[in-house]
Structure 1
Amino acid sequence: MADFGFDRLIYGYTRFGKPGALGDFEDAVFLNNHDPEYFNRFIGERMFLKAPILRWARDHIGACSWGEIWRDAESLSEAERRVIAFNRAMNVSAGYSISFPAPSPRSFALISLSARRGLSQDDVDATWANHGREIEAMNNMAHLKILSLPNTTRRGRLTRRQREVLEWVGDGKSNQDIAVILGVSVPTVEKHLRLAREKLGVDTTAQAILKAAFLNQIHIGEYALAR
């Protein structure tokens, strides 16, 4: 992206949104190469939730010029104006964002491409006019690649044993069966399942299996997912 003038990126993705909201912050994946000070404030302090591009992305798929939204003063709330002012103060003043197609109503993914310092929004728009389709295609490919990788959210990754017991439960094995297969006691299996549920932030083992599968941390058959 730097070859096109975009030297700072923020990618965000969740499969665990809720109606009208993005869901638990702990379940989201964020990738970025911004300065830590900017990222910690914009993402860590949840400023992005008031960003006008997020409002746009909730109802649109594809690419959007920041200028298209930032210059529409009548549509901006006071909170959105504060976010724009913060971005400009941090030299994040021109760019594009791409909202990706979602496989389910609970999924949401967005990448924001910040232009190199010194480039205006008009400069960026001119670049997009010439290379926008190529840039959008490259980002969609990157998004699909990220979806295929094991995702480690703020909750952290499951241990090898936790993944094993969840996969065996997903295959229909009882705790007693798993204990025999792994050569451990039933209480040990139950402990691994409890710790897996806690790490994933869910209440039931069935929810843990589904969530771990969505995060690509375990692999189970289509039959188990359908159940």
Structure 2
Amino acid sequence: MTPELRTYLTDLTNAPTIEILWAMHCERMADYGFDRLLYGFTRFLTLTSLGDPNDFVLLTNHSQSYMDTFIGEGLYAQAPMVTWALENEGACSWRVLAQLMDQGRLSPAARRVVEFNLRQHVTAGYSVSFKSISSRAKGAIALTARAGTDQADVDATWDQHGNDIVLMNNLVHLKILTLPYMPPNQSLTRRQREALEWVGDGKTTQDIAQIMGLTQGTIEKHLRLAREAMNVDTTAQAVMKAAFQNQMFVLEA
């Protein structure tokens, strides 16, 4: 490991927010020719679903129009490299897509995803699927090479720097899991977060009212709004989801 890479990895581990971490990572990956990244993580994986997209941790520098189609219209669910990431760990060259196409092993839905990506100049790159110890959790990142780059050139870059690139992406993934992530329309106010924290500590509504110096009715309102923000039915689910997103017991949220 070079001193420069060691310094960069140290800076990554000290990143105080996901936004700063992601900006650092996008800039670094661009140095290797990957100018568009898409990171995804779910804790709600089942045998038949990745869970609600609203519950994903999604980070990207792709265009909004790309994301509106790929995620918003559900293309990700049929994307061949997403399927690969769910079934494997480690790194994979996108040359496998050409092989699957040539062998006629892609479903019509998967072919439509590939054709959409071709139109968006998402044609060459690598995917990294991260190791998970939970059957409900999975994370991966797609590294898209600059438009016009040949996959052979990407593979040559990977042959030279692939180990370092995987190391950096693994570290970014692990760091993301420690930082607060607030999806659109799911962030909590300070009072909502505090009320959920006390629920997580086993306090009753009456206890929380006394601790926070508020009425029980106000505490119940904070908890109701927290459930709505988290898009869940019960306070216990809100506590779990907020904990997954690292929105609870943080020094700054």
Q: TM-score, normalised by structure 1?
A: 0.92
Give the match for residue 71 of structure 1.
99
The answer as to 2:55 corresponding to 1:27 is yes
Alpha-carbon distance, 1:12 to partner: 1.0
Letter of the structure 2 residue corresponding to residue 82 of structure 1: R
Q: Aligned to 1:71, what secondary structure does the other structure show?
A: helix
Partners of 1:132 and 1:29 lie apart in 2 by 25
CA RMSD of aligned residues (A): 1.4
- Which residue number corresponds to residue 54 of structure 1? 82
**Are residues 48 and 70 of structure 1, via their aligned partners in 2, closer, same or farther at CA, if it must alter by over 3 Å?**
farther
Question: How far did 1:14 drift?
Answer: 1.5
Q: Structure 1 residue 175 and structure 2 residue 205: aligned?
A: yes
Is residue 17–residue 24 contact of structure 1 (8 Å, CA) maintained in 2?
no
* Superposed counterparts of 1:1-227, under 5 Å: 1-73=29-101, 74-219=104-249
1:154 CA displacement? 3.2
Partner of 2:11: none
User: Which deviates the most, 63-72 or 158-167?
Assistant: 63-72
Shift of 1:112: 0.4
Runs of 4+ residues deviating >3 angstroms = none
Amino acid at match of 1:129: D
Shift of 1:97: 0.6
Once the two structures are overlaid, the 10-residue window that deviates more, 21-30 or 63-72, is 63-72
- TM-score using structure 2 length: 0.83
Measured after TM superposition, the shift of residue 155 of structure 1 is 3.5
Q: Percent identity?
A: 55
Distance 2:37 2:126 in 1: 10
Structure 2: distance between partners of 1:70 and 1:160: 50
Query: What is the Cα deviation at residue 219 of structure 1?
Result: 2.5
Corresponding residue SS for 1:158: coil
Report the AA paired with residue 175 of structure 1: T
How far, CA to CA, are the matches of 1:182 and 1:106 in structure 2? 35
SS of structure 2 residue aligned to 1:123: helix
Separation in 1, partners of 2:94, 2:211: 56
Query: Does the aligned pair in 1 maintain the 2:186–2:231 contact within 8 Å?
Result: no
Give the length in aligned residue pairs. Answer: 220
| Structure 2: gaps of 5 or more residues | 1-28
After superposition, what is the alpha-carbon deviation per residue over 1:20-73, rounded to whole angstroms, capped at 9, x for unaligned?
A: 211111111211111222222112221111110011111101111111133222
Distance 1:34 1:125 in 2: 22
Structure 1 residue runs without a partner (length 5+): 221-227
